[in-house]
Structure 1
Amino acid sequence: MSPGRTVMRLTVSRRETVADGVVVLDLRDPSGSDLPPWTPGAHIDLVPAADVVRQYSLCGDPADRTVWRIAVLREPDGRGGSRAVHDRLHEDDLVETRGPRNHFPLVPAPRYLFVAGGIGITPLLPMIAAVASAGADWRLHYGGRSRGSMAFRSALCSAYGARVSVHPQDETGLLDLDAILADEPPDTPIYCCGPEPLLQAIERRCPDRPLHLERFAPSEPGEPVRAGSFEVELARTGRVLTVPPGRSILRAVQEAGVEVLWSCTEGTCGTCETTVLDGAVDHRDSLLTPAERAANDTMFICVSRAAGPRLILDL
């Protein structure tokens, strides 16, 4: 099993409230063994209750193989994952994890702009530490509802000083993206994570900039390229499945008795990534870059479909 699909039961070694509605959990192997390696931008699946799987960014130190750290915002109107973490997971509890995976990698550059909204600060923390250690130039603009809701705010300001700009909405309003972007050279990589309105706003302003996004929720993919059914050949057995409108490839494969890992069913976590051997893909995920989509060599079968009559997949 590849590192990105490793399933483990880890111990909650520490639980701490770090902001209004935000808890940090440190997860360790009960035997004391090292955990799989990861890089800034990676996330894990957490299974805090039966049939509840959620993705959380790793926000600790990649060099420390003894612990994985995540931060979880309680979302009263969510689907129940964050409530399960807040209400059911305590120190010394065991919890199932999967991963890590990274679809939000940090690219080498001499300068960076980081933009965070609320709990979207989490995947940016190890990135900031990495670029600061490397001596790169960088700035962080961090928005949140209020100072009390902004996890890690004090630590960031203490460690990095003027490189960090804090924008509490109740004091200064929404992030002024036009002003923030006006100060940056057009070739500066921009890393942004936060609620969907923030991501859509920065996407509109950066059509030609090197923009890297991490989404909490799926983007709207529009209507499928192909309205009718299509065939999927499972290369390892030669079996051919028909996928009708309204049914995902993932569902069709599962109904055929083929075991595949999956999690979000929204095209945001990357768990069901599958190699494409032949055929054109209608990419409907929120993960792949335009270049990765154009390569047509991988897809997320929970949401993406065939753009033509047939796909051959490495299943």
Structure 2
Amino acid sequence: MRLSLVRREVVADGVVVLDLRDPSGSDLPSWTPGAHIDVVPAAGVVRQYSLCGDPADRTVWRIAVLREPDGRGGSRALHDKLAEGDLVEVRGPRNHFPLVPAPRYLFVAGGIGITPLLPMIAAAAARGAEWRLHYGGRSRGSMAFRSALRSAYGGRVLICPQDETGLLDLDGILADEPADTPIYCCGPEPLLTAIEQRCPGRPLHLERFAPRDPNEHGEPVRTDSFEVELARTGRTLTVPPGRSILRTVEDAGVEVLWSCTEGTCGTCETAVLGGEVDHRDSLLTPGERAANDTMFICVSRAAGPRLILDL
């Protein structure tokens, strides 16, 4: 769908908030805390941004965009070329980072990773849950929504600019938290890797901006071709070495939704009806991988000679 930019506001160094509405005035699709949308700022360019407004307000979707000078141009287009009144192509929302019911939460944010946590914090506060937020960033000026969070929630929000206090003290943060507290963390990969290493067996929920290091997945289970049966039609396709399942089914004329092609956005998630999967995404938990009932066909492959997919 095409939405209209009705408001833009610079909220931190290199961060702009964009409010999007349906030009006809219709309500937008509902969403829950943790959801993101795909934004298409230019032809062939698709980027994912977390919704950071109020889920109860169906008239507007709010995103915050960090300018990435060394990126591929998507954030620069939204910062420099999109003006109030312009239309932009948007898809979604989708949520692979939902807030689970709990009496207590620990939120940890790094930089622009604060965005998906904003509606989660509001939901936790509305439920009367106990929670804390540890929010790190390069400097105070780079930390979007810092003042609003402190004004709304006071001492539950701990602001930790790196140039003043150093990196987030994850060991100290986690030591003060009961082992069964759900932990929600979003930010740059070094932060996510560091907290993962410290939380084996703990209820940790992560949102990534970029795919994991491919080396973490190890070598592919198989490097030769394999077959994919499309259960809805009974067709069987051969996926050759070096070619993704996504591109193979598209080449065969099968329409599937996709966005990042890196295993981080979740758009191409597909149900697995048979066969073993070599998961190579950055989304599924170890338990979800072991269930072997879903996969992201842009990066994951077969661990055996044949997969049966709900396509």
Normalised by the length of structure 1, the TM-score is: 0.96
Whole-angstrom CA distance in 2 between matches of 1:155 and 1:222: 43
* 1:207 aligned onto 2:200: yes
| Structure 1 residue 227: Cα displacement | 2.1
2:117 counterpart residue number? 124
SS of 1:37's equivalent in the other structure is: coil
| Structure 1 residue 104: Cα displacement | 0.2
Whole-angstrom CA distance in 1 between matches of 2:261 and 2:188: 19
Q: Select which of 236, 252, 264 maps to 2:260.
A: 264
Matches of residues 95-106 of structure 1 in structure 2 within 5 Å?
Answer: 95-106=88-99
1:187 counterpart residue number? 180
Whole-angstrom CA distance in 2 between matches of 1:63 and 1:290: 33
Q: Cα RMSD (Å) of the superposition?
A: 0.8
2:55 counterpart residue number? 62
* 1:311 aligned onto 2:307: yes
Whole-angstrom CA distance in 1 between matches of 2:233 and 2:102: 44
Matches of residues 95-244 of structure 1 in structure 2 within 5 Å?
Answer: 95-220=88-213, 221-244=217-240
* 1:293 aligned onto 2:296: no
SS of 2:89's equivalent in the other structure is: strand
117-126 or 269-278, which deviates more: 269-278
Segments ≥4 residues shifted beyond 6 Å: none
User: How many percent identity over aligned positions?
Assistant: 87
| Structure 1 residue 293: Cα displacement | 1.5
SS of 1:175's equivalent in the other structure is: coil
Q: Select which of 250, 256, 262 maps to 1:254.
A: 250
80-89 or 142-151, which deviates more: 80-89
Q: Select which of 284, 296, 301 maps to 2:280.
A: 284
| Structure 1 residue 37: Cα displacement | 0.4
SS of 2:195's equivalent in the other structure is: helix
| Structure 1 residue 290: Cα displacement | 1.9
| Structure 1 residue 61: Cα displacement | 0.3
1:17 counterpart residue number? 10
Q: Select which of 68, 72, 82 maps to 1:75.
A: 68
Whole-angstrom CA distance in 1 between matches of 2:222 and 2:97: 29
Per-residue CA deviation, residues 279-310 of structure 1 (Å, 9 max, x unaligned), is: 11111111112222222111110001111110
Normalised by the length of structure 2, the TM-score is: 0.98
* 1:35 aligned onto 2:28: yes
Whole-angstrom CA distance in 2 between matches of 1:253 and 1:32: 37
Whole-angstrom CA distance in 2 between matches of 1:87 and 1:276: 42
Whole-angstrom CA distance in 2 between matches of 1:152 and 1:255: 44
2:270 counterpart residue number? 274
- Amino acid in the other structure paired with 1:286: S
Per-residue CA deviation, residues 18-64 of structure 1 (Å, 9 max, x unaligned), is: 00000000010001100000000000000011101000000000000
Whole-angstrom CA distance in 1 between matches of 2:95 and 2:145: 22
Per-residue CA deviation, residues 99-134 of structure 1 (Å, 9 max, x unaligned), is: 000000000111100000000000000000000010
- Amino acid in the other structure paired with 2:148: A
Q: Across the two proteins, how many residue pairs are aligned to each other?
A: 308
5+ long unaligned stretches in structure 2: none
| Structure 1 residue 222: Cα displacement | 2.4
Whole-angstrom CA distance in 2 between matches of 1:94 and 1:222: 42
